[in-house]
Structure 1
Amino acid sequence: MTRSVYVTGIDRGDGRQAVELGVMELLSRQVDRVGVFRPLAHAASPGERGSDHLIELLRTRYRLELPPTELYGLTYEEAAALQAAHGQDELVSTLVDRFRAVERQCEAVLVLGTDFSDTNIPDELAFNARLANEFGAWVLPVVGGQGEDEQTVIAEVRNAHRAYRDLGCSTLAMIANRVTPAVKQPVLRVLSEKLPIPVYVIPEEVALAAPTVAQLVEATGAEVLLGDAAGLARDVRSFVFGGAMLPTFLPALTEGALVVTPGDRADLVIGSLAAHAAGAPPIAGVLLTLGQHPGPNVMALAARLAPGTPVAVVPEGSWLTAAALTHLEGRIGPDSPRKAEIALGLFELHVDTGELTKRFELSRSERVTPMMFEHELLERARADRRHIVLPEGTEDRVLQAAEVLLRRNICDLTLLGEPEAVQRKAAALGIELPQPQEGADRAQVRIVDPAASPLRQQFAELYARLRAHKGMTVEQALDVVTEVSYFGTLMVREGIADGMVSGAVHSTAATIRPAFEVIKTSPGAAIVSSVFFMCLADRVLVYGDCAVNPDPDARQLADIAIQSAETAAQFGVEPRVAMLSYSTGTSGFGADVDKVRRATELVREQRPDLLVEGPIQYDAAVDAHVAATKLPGSPVAGRASVLIFPDLNTGNNTYKAVQRSAGAVAVGPVLQGLRKPVNDLSRGALVEDIVNTVAITAIQSQTPEGAR
């Protein structure tokens, strides 16, 4: 049975988009086919539906397959005309029909209620309640608490609960959103005692309320003269209007400020950008008024001073520009992925997602999509938060991934690098790295400079002892341990961090060599090897070894198979092991086939509990129809989940071919066989790849060392 959740409110300004995104995240973790439906939408122009930033974000982020036109019911104008001509019953009937068309194609549907903004709907709350009842959906009311005191928030939430209850709704929970942080706990305590359903209180988050530079450009019709995508995505937290001379003007700059000044004030333009480049303070950008463009020399200097920082120009003067900017608030959309991560982190921190999920009454899908697998990784990492060290602390993608990891409360982090350089790069990306707080329930980040760390001497002495057989001295080791990969690996060995992820800018050898020297292999592991999690449309396969061992012998191949099966089981993939070759069963001969055959025998001897088949060709391993012909009756053929390649050449090429040709998501390489987890990244890794790899590393560290 399809289950639906209808997120609604009682007034505008409740910040409901963050809740809607959070609910969509929960639904997509449970089932494969999730839909979204907005009964009434504002038209971008007469007769046009679909100009909805949140809908577009949900479509792209969650890969919704439904046509965009099916995700909307009617425009408010169409609804008003229909109701005026035929009454509300006809309007509701039309919307129900369009909702059912979405519902029939989905296992769960998120319904986005009306926005209480210029809708011309009489008794809008009752209208939402009626639609929810007609849809057979749970109702999740969101009450805005921005700027309200404790008693007001409590009263409004209780009134909203009573109103939806009296209208016959099945209320899932109540959410008070954008609440002043100081009153969060008192409000939560009182409401939890007074209401018979779960209550969640989400505090105001400045980063969500702040518009991005891109939004301001759109709102004012500005022409962008300088700036890249990362710069345009920066949050604007305040405005500084330039009129004073530079010495008086500079102290007024604050972090995240947008400088608004006439285009002929080259001194303020260059001064603001120079202050930004120096890191004190990092501004959001510069908006020039009166339609005046600075000269080419000024623009060339501006581009060199602060690459990527936006500079835009509007034709209006400062007064009209200020009026256009004053009431603009941030929005969550496809053009603001950082805000989406901030919103999800806020939702997951303040909402009991496990409790809410149970109330959905959804049965988990048997299919495992790439998104469901990735969500499971983040959930498992978050459930037992660990500490991961990232040596490449000044790399853009690493910092962007760090922000996601911290916002989503996935793990504590140490970034290696010179602190001022790391903070300056983060500020240029619009990323705020919070200062560590003792006893905080949020994920923490620390920035450590290996060259200046008090651990340097301790690590040098340790490394010199470990490598004494190679002639290493403490004096030499003092230089070695300042290299970030060595310093991070030593942190892991000493238990200061639980795992390490590197390789966004370093080679695989630079990442793995320190682990071989310092951490070494785990008990029972003959070699260190790797797997990729290959997330196909409907399942997850494990490929090994596609990254480390060029030409393993039979014993090594058996060890890789056993390690890969254990890794698969650790991450929820039932291991059915296929030892791949160019022939199946007894049909082939030669040294290569014999190696795979012997490796299969060794696996059966060492782990008789494992389901293993080999030699077997790839098609017979994964295709039930081929398996029925080539190996009828095999418990693995046609159902293999762990595929072991005979050599690195075959494995690496196959994983890349499947990734590119079949559209699979490849997560890895994940190293196995080490005493403590260290994982390598591709130098082309995307931010989401880094996030997934860190989550995997954190999960690996949750397993006791002796069990790996």
Structure 2
Amino acid sequence: MQTTAVARIVYLVEQDPASGKSAVALGLAELLSRAVPRLGVFRPVVPAFPDPLLTLLQERYGIMKEPAALYGVTAAEAAAELAAGHGEELVGLVVERFRAVAPEFDAVVVIGTDADDDLSFNARLANEFGAVVVPVVTAPTPSDVDNAARQAYHALVDLDVTVAAVIVNKTAGPVPPPELPVPCYTIPHVATIGAPTVAEVADQLGATVITATEAALGRDVHDYVVGAAQVPALLSHLTENALLITPGDRADLLVAAGAAHASGLMPLAGIVLTIGIAPDPTALRLFERLNPGLAVLSVPGASYETIAASTRVEHRLGMANPRKVEAALGAFESNVDVAALASALELTRSSRVTPLMFEYDLIERARADRRRLVLPEGTEDRILRAADILLRRGVVDLTLLGAPDAVAAKARDLGVDVSGAAVVDPLTSPLRDEFAVAYARFRAHKGVSFDLAWDVVADVSYFGTLMVQLGHADGMVSGATHTTAATIRPAFEIIKTVPDVSVASSVFFMLLPDRVLVYGDCAVNPDPTAEQLADIALSSAATAARFGVTPRVAMLSYSTGTSGAGADVNKVATATELVRSRRPDLPVEGPIQYDAAIDPAVAATKLPDSPVAGQATVFVFPDLNTGNNTYKAVQRSAGAVAVGPVMQGLNKPVNDLSRGATVKDIVNTVAITAIQAGSHG
């Protein structure tokens, strides 16, 4: 059962076509998605169909409706109705389409029309929808912020709508918001959000790609530079993340630009060669040998007409570029008091935790108690992409391990920004001596000398683990390229398990469509004893509670209650009694079969009086073979998202990634590790 308040409808009004409404809509959707299980979006008028913004919101937030149900009319249809004098009929049609879909959601973000002369139309629809309104405005200078915010507020109040908050977007740097009768927030301009990618410019120009990787085409274009002078003059005029536009016969400028980028002198976005001249083959080979990670495009037009066409390209947020989505969310969340805004929108959090709510709660909790995490695989593509997201959204402070030049070069190749992270090379770090002394002390009983320790701590996994143990970091996440053993062994040697826990173990958070379950242990212990199984159950229950899942523990076996016998069943029965003796307050049932643990109908037959059967949330498997196969079967057959493995039972948090981990998996695991670090104090 869910206990949400009445469905909230938030109507976003843009009073300036360049205000960045899409980024604010994304931020509002993110906020609402944390509070309600069923989030909806609606556009009264879409510029065209399909609409990139609707597609982004629908896919990101799992809105299971046909796209055509999420808008009223297209801009062309609206124009035709208005030209025919059918204004009231247009309003009626849009309202009818909205009311047909709104009852299926607990909250709806409505994205108003784009035209700046549509304020009355948007106000009318907001009232017809029963919505509160959030206007989005811009201000050319900091001194204009106060006036822009007040005008937006009073213009809407004069139209008898309820204004919930005012957002002044894309300000020139941090600007204090003015005082209004409602919350007001200012969001500084973030160049990467609205900057087109090289691929978008290429598409607009109809350019031919001469050489490029996917990462090179995804780079942001922040500026445009026409190259016509000699090399020294060009180098003095290059700007960061600029697209160089130069005639195709200027081989000298092609090579010079590639060298400037590859050396780190000036990171560029890419190069466009004009007037249809192919680059000199020898110069192009030299350019490619520099491996700058830049795209080279060719167009038939002249340089100045090319730059004029390029500057008209605008980026639209979409699923194809998650980096920009995360940048937009980072800007919103860093400058908007989301708790206060949720209160202004009168949101009541649902007691039901959906997978989407669980994942976004991780980010919110980690950001609220920001911790220092170390990522040993500092030159791995997915790690750097995840670091970019984590830093943009202010989730954690990061240390990346690796040679600084190598990390910087890889980040440039990928077009990501990790400048906010510390970069430490274990081979040259001044901490190496301190860590060698400490490791030799920790392993003295194994005969480890300082000289041996000096070599061991140069390994990134050992170095990162020692950073955690000695207080230079609060937690570590590794395993994107390293084996589980390489990640976990140093933790067992150095950090060790908490008192009264005989064994470290792991859980997966299984994000099913309508709930979050906890599975343990599916990654570490092959055949735990009854005592170890009890420890795994207690650790798993504590982990579940820490992350908002009410623990009801099922100790799984191939029989339920006293229906079976044998060594395996007896082990589970003994473990269950140990859990009950150590935690009498914890709901636990065992031995119990999986179907009786999760299905109320089966539970009613097999264990009708059990407080756990049919409603278990924590599933403890008798051995690794059973657990690992079950989590993968559920993951594949039920379409569940498996977050983990999350290590538990260690004195300080170290978590292992699957070597097939996605960027999203890494972001989630880092957030989990940061939350664990907070609970460790």
Residue 590 of structure 2 corresponds to: 614
Cα shift readout 1:562-614 (whole Å, capped 9, x = no counterpart): 11111111111111111111111112122111111111111112211111111
> Is 1:539 matched with 2:533?
no
SS at 1:30 equivalent: coil
**Superposition deviation, residue 301 in structure 1:** 4.9
Q: Report if the CA contact (8 A) 1:276-1:306 is conserved.
A: no
Residue 447 of structure 1 corresponds to: 423
Cα shift readout 1:325-361 (whole Å, capped 9, x = no counterpart): 1243433222221111011001001101001111222
Q: CA RMSD of the aligned region, Å? A: 1.7
**Superposition deviation, residue 431 in structure 1:** 1.6
> Do the aligned partners of residues 464 and 20 (structure 1) sit closer, same or farther apart at CA in structure 2, a change above 3 Å counting?
same
Instruction: Pick from 124, 146, 155 the counterpart of residue 154 of structure 1.
Output: 146
Residue 87 of structure 2 corresponds to: 88
Residue 303 of structure 2 corresponds to: 318
> Distance between the aligned counterparts of 1:164 and 1:566, measured in 2?
49
**Superposition deviation, residue 429 in structure 1:** 1.2
Deviates more, 1:56-65 or 1:267-276: 267-276
| 1:226-245 equivalent positions in 2, closer than 5 A | 226-245=211-230
> Do the aligned partners of residues 79 and 455 (structure 1) sit closer, same or farther apart at CA in structure 2, a change above 3 Å counting?
same
> Is 1:498 matched with 2:470?
no
Stretches of structure 2 lacking an aligned partner (at least 5 in a row): 1-5
> Distance between the aligned counterparts of 1:244 and 1:113, measured in 2?
47
> Distance between the aligned counterparts of 1:626 and 1:113, measured in 2?
49
**Superposition deviation, residue 299 in structure 1:** 4.9
Residue 396 of structure 1 corresponds to: 381
Instruction: Pick from 542, 546, 549 the counterpart of residue 566 of structure 1.
Output: 542
Cα shift readout 1:288-345 (whole Å, capped 9, x = no counterpart): 2223333666555544433753222222111211111124343322222111101100
Tell me the matched-pair count: 676
Cα shift readout 1:595-634 (whole Å, capped 9, x = no counterpart): 1111111111221111111111111111111111111111
> Distance between the aligned counterparts of 1:663 and 1:296, measured in 2?
50
> Distance between the aligned counterparts of 2:239 and 2:462, measured in 1?
38
Deviates more, 1:237-246 or 1:603-612: 237-246
Residue 365 of structure 2 corresponds to: 380
SS at 2:204 equivalent: helix
SS at 1:225 equivalent: strand
> Is 1:28 matched with 2:33?
yes
Instruction: Pick from 174, 179, 182 the counterpart of residue 171 of structure 2.
Output: 179
Whichever residue aligns with residue 22 of structure 1, its letter is: G
SS at 2:228 equivalent: coil
> Distance between the aligned counterparts of 1:220 and 1:417, measured in 2?
39
Residue 132 of structure 1 corresponds to: 126
> Distance between the aligned counterparts of 1:316 and 1:92, measured in 2?
46
**Superposition deviation, residue 135 in structure 1:** 0.9
Q: Report if the CA contact (8 A) 1:179-1:203 is conserved.
A: yes
SS at 1:582 equivalent: coil
Residue 396 of structure 2 corresponds to: 411
SS at 2:22 equivalent: helix
Stretches of structure 1 lacking an aligned partner (at least 5 in a row): 44-48, 118-122, 436-444
**Superposition deviation, residue 136 in structure 1:** 0.8
**Superposition deviation, residue 367 in structure 1:** 3.0
User: TM-score scaled by structure 1?
Assistant: 0.93
Residue 517 of structure 1 corresponds to: 493
| 1:195-594 equivalent positions in 2, closer than 5 A | 195-294=180-279, 299=284, 301-306=286-291, 308-435=293-420, 445-594=421-570
Residue 98 of structure 1 corresponds to: 97
> Distance between the aligned counterparts of 1:181 and 1:304, measured in 2?
40
Q: Report if the CA contact (8 A) 1:282-1:428 is conserved.
A: no
Q: Report if the CA contact (8 A) 1:22-1:348 is conserved.
A: yes
Cα shift readout 1:230-287 (whole Å, capped 9, x = no counterpart): 2222111222222234454344333312121222333332332233233332221121
> Distance between the aligned counterparts of 1:355 and 1:544, measured in 2?
37
Instruction: Pick from 5, 12, 17 the counterpart of residue 17 of structure 2.
Output: 12
SS at 1:264 equivalent: coil
**Superposition deviation, residue 703 in structure 1:** 1.2
> Do the aligned partners of residues 263 and 406 (structure 1) sit closer, same or farther apart at CA in structure 2, a change above 3 Å counting?
same
> Distance between the aligned counterparts of 2:559 and 2:299, measured in 1?
68
> Distance between the aligned counterparts of 2:513 and 2:284, measured in 1?
48
Cα shift readout 1:152-189 (whole Å, capped 9, x = no counterpart): 2211211111110010111010111111116x02xx2x
Q: Report if the CA contact (8 A) 2:183-2:344 is conserved.
A: no
Residue 38 of structure 1 corresponds to: 43
Q: Report if the CA contact (8 A) 2:465-2:494 is conserved.
A: yes
Q: Report if the CA contact (8 A) 1:227-1:307 is conserved.
A: no
Whichever residue aligns with residue 410 of structure 2, its letter is: K
**Superposition deviation, residue 81 in structure 1:** 1.9
Q: Report if the CA contact (8 A) 1:574-1:641 is conserved.
A: yes
Whichever residue aligns with residue 110 of structure 1, its letter is: V
> Distance between the aligned counterparts of 1:225 and 1:537, measured in 2?
44
Q: Report if the CA contact (8 A) 2:11-2:110 is conserved.
A: yes
SS at 2:506 equivalent: strand
Residue 438 of structure 1 corresponds to: none
Residue 64 of structure 2 corresponds to: 65
